[in-house]
Structure 1
């Protein structure tokens, strides 16, 4: 374990230092402050990552199927889980209408 367990102290700039930093940043043409319109258009990076949210969320469950059923669907190639879901959805549709 490290002998230094304290986090470093953060020292905030004084008002004069802050003004000098702001003036230097504003004088740089490549580092101009964002306009209110640009700030309003910003989105958290978390919202942009990953797959878009589906309107039809699926549930994560653990199910055991017969080996021959899994082997058949796997033999149909990529997307076999989606095809299996489609077959089950058709079954539900057919059987819920006749009930």
Structure 2
């Protein structure tokens, strides 16, 4: 790495952004609506939230667990959220084992 590419800053120093906040503040609701209407990537959101149900995820408990290295590597290769996916696999196993057994 070249030394000229390294930037050091003191703790608490703030970088000035490139956003023109005065221009943003000057926009009217009509200006914003027109910009959205002319934006090909803007998709109208028409969602009925009246039947929405809030689901609070169960509280997680931090533990230490030993798993085979290849198992951990497999989940990590899938990207961020590997711990959540491992938890989902364990939950699925738990639910399958908790089902009442069918009699033949």
Decide: shared fold, TM above 0.5. no
Q: TM-score range by the shorter chain?
A: 0.3 to 0.5
Larger radius of gyration: 1
Larger proportion of helix: 1
Structure-2-length-normalised TM-score: 0.41
